Amino acid sequence: MNKITGLLKKCFVDPPEDGRIQFLRSLFVGLAATLVDMGVLVVLKEFLGLKNHTFIAATIAFIAGLLTNYLLSTFWAFRGLNTKSRGAEFTIFAIISVIGLLLNNLIIMLFEDVLGPARVFGEWLPQDKYYIIGKVVATVIVFIWNFGMRKILLYTKRKPKNQNDQSDLPVS
Protein backbone atom coordinates (compact mmCIF):
# COMPACT_ATOMS: atom_id res chain seq x y z
CA MET A 1 0.00 0.00 0.00
CA ASN A 2 2.89 2.39 0.76
CA LYS A 3 4.25 1.91 -2.77
CA ILE A 4 0.91 2.88 -4.26
CA THR A 5 0.58 5.87 -1.94
CA GLY A 6 4.13 6.96 -2.79
CA LEU A 7 3.49 6.61 -6.50
CA LEU A 8 0.23 8.59 -6.28
CA LYS A 9 1.99 11.28 -4.24
CA LYS A 10 4.79 11.48 -6.81
CA CYS A 11 2.31 11.65 -9.70
CA PHE A 12 -0.16 14.11 -8.22
CA VAL A 13 1.33 16.00 -5.24
CA ASP A 14 5.13 16.33 -5.35
CA PRO A 15 6.83 18.92 -7.59
CA PRO A 16 6.91 17.42 -11.11
CA GLU A 17 10.63 17.17 -11.86
CA ASP A 18 10.41 14.02 -14.01
CA GLY A 19 9.38 14.58 -17.64
CA ARG A 20 7.09 11.52 -17.50
CA ILE A 21 5.24 12.99 -14.52
CA GLN A 22 4.96 16.32 -16.35
CA PHE A 23 3.52 14.52 -19.38
CA LEU A 24 1.07 12.55 -17.21
CA ARG A 25 -0.07 15.71 -15.46
CA SER A 26 -0.31 17.48 -18.82
CA LEU A 27 -2.66 14.74 -19.98
CA PHE A 28 -4.91 15.39 -16.98
CA VAL A 29 -4.67 19.16 -17.53
CA GLY A 30 -5.39 18.66 -21.22
CA LEU A 31 -8.41 16.49 -20.39
CA ALA A 32 -9.80 19.12 -18.01
CA ALA A 33 -9.17 21.94 -20.48
CA THR A 34 -10.68 19.86 -23.29
CA LEU A 35 -13.81 19.19 -21.28
CA VAL A 36 -14.16 22.93 -20.64
CA ASP A 37 -13.38 23.78 -24.28
CA MET A 38 -15.67 21.15 -25.81
CA GLY A 39 -18.44 21.82 -23.30
CA VAL A 40 -18.40 25.56 -23.96
CA LEU A 41 -18.29 24.97 -27.74
CA VAL A 42 -21.29 22.64 -27.74
CA VAL A 43 -23.28 24.86 -25.35
CA LEU A 44 -22.60 27.94 -27.47
CA LYS A 45 -23.45 26.24 -30.77
CA GLU A 46 -26.35 24.07 -29.69
CA PHE A 47 -28.02 26.10 -26.94
CA LEU A 48 -26.91 29.74 -27.00
CA GLY A 49 -27.56 30.78 -30.57
CA LEU A 50 -24.15 30.49 -32.20
CA LYS A 51 -25.09 27.53 -34.41
CA ASN A 52 -24.01 29.38 -37.57
CA HIS A 53 -21.02 31.08 -35.94
CA THR A 54 -18.56 28.25 -35.37
CA PHE A 55 -15.48 30.46 -35.53
CA ILE A 56 -16.77 32.71 -32.73
CA ALA A 57 -17.98 29.79 -30.61
CA ALA A 58 -14.72 27.86 -31.11
CA THR A 59 -12.66 30.93 -30.19
CA ILE A 60 -14.62 31.60 -26.98
CA ALA A 61 -14.47 27.91 -26.06
CA PHE A 62 -10.75 27.75 -26.77
CA ILE A 63 -10.10 30.78 -24.52
CA ALA A 64 -12.04 29.11 -21.68
CA GLY A 65 -9.95 25.97 -22.19
CA LEU A 66 -6.76 28.06 -22.40
CA LEU A 67 -7.41 29.72 -19.04
CA THR A 68 -8.14 26.34 -17.48
CA ASN A 69 -4.97 24.94 -19.03
CA TYR A 70 -2.78 27.87 -17.96
CA LEU A 71 -3.89 27.79 -14.36
CA LEU A 72 -3.58 24.02 -13.99
CA SER A 73 -0.26 23.89 -15.89
CA THR A 74 1.31 26.72 -13.94
CA PHE A 75 0.19 25.71 -10.48
CA TRP A 76 0.19 21.92 -10.80
CA ALA A 77 1.53 20.19 -13.93
CA PHE A 78 4.75 22.21 -14.13
CA ARG A 79 4.77 23.65 -10.58
CA GLY A 80 8.21 24.86 -9.55
CA LEU A 81 9.50 25.12 -13.12
CA ASN A 82 8.05 28.52 -13.89
CA THR A 83 9.99 31.32 -15.45
CA LYS A 84 11.17 34.33 -13.47
CA SER A 85 8.33 36.54 -14.62
CA ARG A 86 4.64 35.56 -14.65
CA GLY A 87 4.08 38.20 -17.32
CA ALA A 88 6.76 36.77 -19.61
CA GLU A 89 5.55 33.25 -18.87
CA PHE A 90 1.96 34.10 -19.73
CA THR A 91 3.02 35.96 -22.88
CA ILE A 92 4.93 32.93 -24.20
CA PHE A 93 2.10 30.64 -23.04
CA ALA A 94 -0.40 32.85 -24.88
CA ILE A 95 1.66 32.97 -28.10
CA ILE A 96 1.94 29.19 -28.13
CA SER A 97 -1.78 28.97 -27.42
CA VAL A 98 -2.74 31.45 -30.15
CA ILE A 99 -0.89 29.27 -32.66
CA GLY A 100 -2.80 26.33 -31.13
CA LEU A 101 -6.03 28.31 -31.53
CA LEU A 102 -5.28 28.90 -35.22
CA LEU A 103 -4.60 25.19 -35.70
CA ASN A 104 -7.74 24.37 -33.75
CA ASN A 105 -9.98 26.65 -35.80
CA LEU A 106 -8.45 25.66 -39.14
CA ILE A 107 -9.01 21.98 -38.42
CA ILE A 108 -12.59 22.55 -37.24
CA MET A 109 -13.33 24.68 -40.31
CA LEU A 110 -11.81 22.01 -42.57
CA PHE A 111 -14.19 19.44 -41.13
CA GLU A 112 -17.22 21.72 -41.10
CA ASP A 113 -16.75 23.57 -44.40
CA VAL A 114 -14.92 21.03 -46.59
CA LEU A 115 -15.42 17.50 -45.28
CA GLY A 116 -18.99 18.06 -44.06
CA PRO A 117 -20.41 19.23 -47.38
CA ALA A 118 -18.49 16.42 -49.12
CA ARG A 119 -20.12 13.95 -46.67
CA VAL A 120 -16.83 12.03 -46.35
CA PHE A 121 -18.24 10.04 -43.42
CA GLY A 122 -21.35 9.10 -45.36
CA GLU A 123 -24.83 9.14 -43.88
CA TRP A 124 -23.97 8.09 -40.32
CA LEU A 125 -22.89 11.64 -39.32
CA PRO A 126 -25.17 14.61 -39.98
CA GLN A 127 -23.40 17.35 -41.90
CA ASP A 128 -23.97 19.93 -39.15
CA LYS A 129 -22.07 17.75 -36.61
CA TYR A 130 -18.77 17.50 -38.49
CA TYR A 131 -17.38 20.25 -36.28
CA ILE A 132 -17.38 17.78 -33.39
CA ILE A 133 -15.12 15.31 -35.23
CA GLY A 134 -12.95 18.27 -36.25
CA LYS A 135 -12.71 19.34 -32.63
CA VAL A 136 -11.59 15.86 -31.55
CA VAL A 137 -8.87 15.80 -34.24
CA ALA A 138 -7.84 19.37 -33.40
CA THR A 139 -7.63 18.51 -29.71
CA VAL A 140 -5.05 15.79 -30.30
CA ILE A 141 -2.93 17.89 -32.65
CA VAL A 142 -3.08 21.02 -30.49
CA PHE A 143 -2.27 19.01 -27.31
CA ILE A 144 0.92 17.71 -28.91
CA TRP A 145 1.81 21.21 -30.12
CA ASN A 146 1.09 22.88 -26.77
CA PHE A 147 2.88 20.29 -24.61
CA GLY A 148 5.95 20.22 -26.82
CA MET A 149 6.33 23.96 -27.13
CA ARG A 150 5.57 24.69 -23.47
CA LYS A 151 8.01 22.03 -22.36
CA ILE A 152 10.74 23.42 -24.63
CA LEU A 153 10.15 27.15 -24.15
CA LEU A 154 8.76 27.45 -20.63
CA TYR A 155 9.19 24.47 -18.39
CA THR A 156 12.65 23.04 -19.02
CA LYS A 157 15.24 23.54 -16.33
CA ARG A 158 18.28 25.17 -17.84
CA LYS A 159 21.80 24.63 -16.58
CA PRO A 160 23.70 27.79 -15.69
CA LYS A 161 26.31 28.93 -18.21
CA ASN A 162 28.89 28.80 -15.44
CA GLN A 163 28.91 28.18 -11.71
CA ASN A 164 28.31 31.85 -10.80
CA ASP A 165 25.68 32.66 -13.45
CA GLN A 166 22.27 31.31 -12.57
CA SER A 167 20.23 33.89 -14.48
CA ASP A 168 18.89 31.25 -16.89
CA LEU A 169 17.47 29.10 -14.13
CA PRO A 170 13.68 29.24 -13.71
CA VAL A 171 12.56 30.40 -10.31
CA SER A 172 10.88 27.77 -8.16
Tens digits of residue pLDDT in 36-67: 988 999 999 889 888 888 888 888 998 898 88
Task: State residue 67's pLDDT score.
Answer: 87
CA angle 76–22–90, rounded 5-degree value: 55
The 10s digit of each residue's pLDDT in 84-133 is: 677 787 788 889 988 988 998 899 999 988 888 888 777 787 888 888 88
Cβ atoms 133, 106 nearer than 8 A: no
pTM of the model: 0.64
Backbone angles phi, psi at 155, to 5 degrees: -120, 35
DSSP code at position 162: B
